[in-house]
Chains A and B, each alone.
Chain A
Amino acid sequence: MVRKEDKASSSDADKLKKNKRTSVAVMVLTPLLVLALCLSIMTLVSYKKFIELQGYAAIAFNENAHLKNPSEDNKYRNADVLPMKGLTKVTVPDSENKTEQHEIIYPYYGDKYAELTVKNDKAGIDKEPVYWGDSDDLLAKGVVQSNYSAYIGATGRVVLAAHNHTYFRYLPNILVGDQVILKTDYGKFTYEVTETKVLPDTDTSLLYYDVTADPPVDDLILYTCWNNGYMGLSDQRLYVICKVVSKEYKN
């Protein structure tokens, strides 16, 4: 037979065990409770600031924006990618605004897509490669075309540049009337030098043109640094302005 005292002491023992478990749970969970309270207070106080900072952080730490080198990292081109072709309306030279449609093959950044020749041996430009884009590594390889200028063959201003100690070293020898030829996979385009100008490096007016002009602007600019033949940096630029003579498209 179970005595009352035994029943009482066993009930006490159960209560003791329960209290022990509760107090251990409280001891373990209390630090987490304090941590949760800290986090809640911090969230309430600094939520707006955090969102603002997160916006800046998203700009600074943006996996997609991390480009090492546009011409290397621009996975614009692999051997299997077909060239981008398109039909474009072009102004027929010497024709009072007559237009035709021709096929142009659009270059990807870093593509060598034309050859430049000046019919004047003293200019020293014979089948020089022309690259689409104007980064330092492309300037080291050849003549570059600014990708804000018109595509070769399209109506607009084509702007080609090169360094004055490499591919355009003898550009100052070019004369008015010299022929300039650009050959691409989709056509051959002939220009004639009409003017040369030396402007300060701060004057970039010739690099841009009004796309809405009537009659439309349709010419070629070759430009490079110029310091009267001296070695060293220059704060002047030589511009060779050429008008369109003929445009021969394959398609």
Chain B
Amino acid sequence: MKNKKLYNYLPNLIISLFLAFIFLALSLLFAADNIFFEPTTYTNSMHKIKIEDTAFQEIQTYSEQQYAYTGVEADTLKKSINKTDVSNAIYSYVEDTFSYILGEKSELPEFKADFTLLEKNISDDYTKWAKKEGVEYTQELEDIKQKTIKNVEQAIESDLDVMLLSHINKPNGISTKLKDLLVLARKIRIALIATAVIFIGVMAAVNRKHIGGLLYWVGTSLFCSSMLILVPCAILKGTKYYDGLAIHNDTVYNALTRSMYGLTDSLIKLSTVTLIVAVLFMALFALIINLTKFKKKEKC
């Protein structure tokens, strides 16, 4: 007497293969909306390593160094920017960028660092300098001042742009393309869900006489889709792959690597949940099989 537990093996295998790819695509699309482009994935990771403190320190160092070629006193800059300003500027830019990509904001993100105090302090310095040197405050001096202020602001913004997001936030840049892609991806997701339902329906029809098999094969598909994400992420994390990022600037390096590890951790969590669901389905199938066997024995 054959003790067959998996009926219609080949048709189920083929459908399960298709379902695995559909579940993989759906997982990645889910991850795109809730992990890849979710600002908190990055802001939480960066906050853990207090990236705002490192960026603030860089600005302090820049304040010292810039004196050598601008003549603006280091203290003028240092008293114009505080840690709260730095923290707000960093995190609001990250949030605005990903909110834009997710479609929650329609305007291209811009840096929101408040330079009012900085401009005032540098202007005061110029006025004092002109008085001290007996130099007439001409348009030429005003032009030099404006150029200097602009250069200082750009340098500080560069220090605050810890994830190098300004490179993607250009008109028709990468962030705009990602935004459009995400809109398309959401449409694809609906199509994929419909396809998944159809395939599961077909699988249910194939397993209509032994409906427990449906749980097993869906579990198999979920198992494959979870492993296809879990294993590469685990390897990337385990081998500390992101530590090799070729970036000279320490703050940017730490922000980007920490964000990538945070992203990888989130993907690992997602795929672990999927794996647990898969194992549960298979365990349920095993339970059903055993209950069926028990009932048959009782009838006998």
Contact = CB atoms under 8 A, between A and B. Distances in A.
Nearest to B148: A232
A231 B71 contact: yes
Interface stretch (A58-66, A84-92, A174-182, A202-210): A58-66
B1 A30 contact: no
Interface string A59-94: 111110111110000000000000000000000000
Contacts of A233: 69-70, 144, 147-148, 151
B6 to A, nearest CB: 6
Interface stretch (A19-27, A106-114, A122-130, A214-222): A19-27
A211 interface: no
A26 B10 CA distance: 12
A79 B286 CA distance: 69
A38 B244 contact: no
B289 to A, nearest CB: 9
Contacts of A42: 228
A199 interface: no
A26 B285 CA distance: 14
Interface stretch (B34-42, B181-189, B245-253): B245-253
Among B20, B126, B133, find the residue whose CB has the most chain A CB atoms closer than 10 A.
Answer: B20
A190 to B, nearest CB: 28
Given A27-B5, A38-B228, A62-B244, A231 B140 contact: no
A33 B144 CA distance: 70
Interface residues of A, number: 44
Nearest to B24: A38
A73 to B, nearest CB: 9
Contacts, number: 130
Contacts of A19: 1-4
Q: Is the interface of A mostly helix, strand, loop or mixed?
A: helix
Given A38-B17, A38-B21, A230 B144 contact: yes
Interface stretch (A96-104, A149-157, A160-168, A241-249): A160-168
Contacts of A139: 65, 68
Interface in B1-36: 1-6, 9, 13, 16-17, 20-21, 24
A129 B243 CA distance: 36
Interface string A24-39: 0011001101110111
A59 B246 contact: yes
A28 to B, nearest CB: 9
Given A27-B216, A38-B17, A233-B144, A61 B65 contact: no
Contact of B224 (A26, A34, A62): A34
Given A38-B224, A65-B246, A66-B247, A26 B6 contact: yes
A248 to B, nearest CB: 32
Contacts of A37: 17
B8 to A, nearest CB: 13
Contacts of A35: 20, 223-224, 227-228
B1 A231 contact: no
B4 A164 contact: no
Contacts of B242: 61
A120 B18 CA distance: 83
A20 B3 contact: yes
Nearest to A228: B140
A232 B5 contact: no
Given A38-B20, A231-B71, A233-B69, A30 B244 contact: no
Interface in A32-60: 33-35, 37-39, 41-42, 59-60
Given A27-B282, A27-B286, A230-B135, 15 more contacts: A16-B3, A26-B9, A31-B219, A34-B16, A39-B228, A41-B21, A62-B244, A65-B244, A66-B243, A66-B253, A164-B68, A165-B71, A232-B70, A232-B126, A233-B148
21 contacts: A23-B3, A23-B5, A23-B6, A27-B6, A30-B6, A31-B278, A34-B16, A38-B20, A38-B24, A39-B228, A41-B17, A66-B245, A66-B247, A69-B248, A140-B64, A140-B68, A165-B71, A232-B70, A232-B126, A232-B141, A232-B145
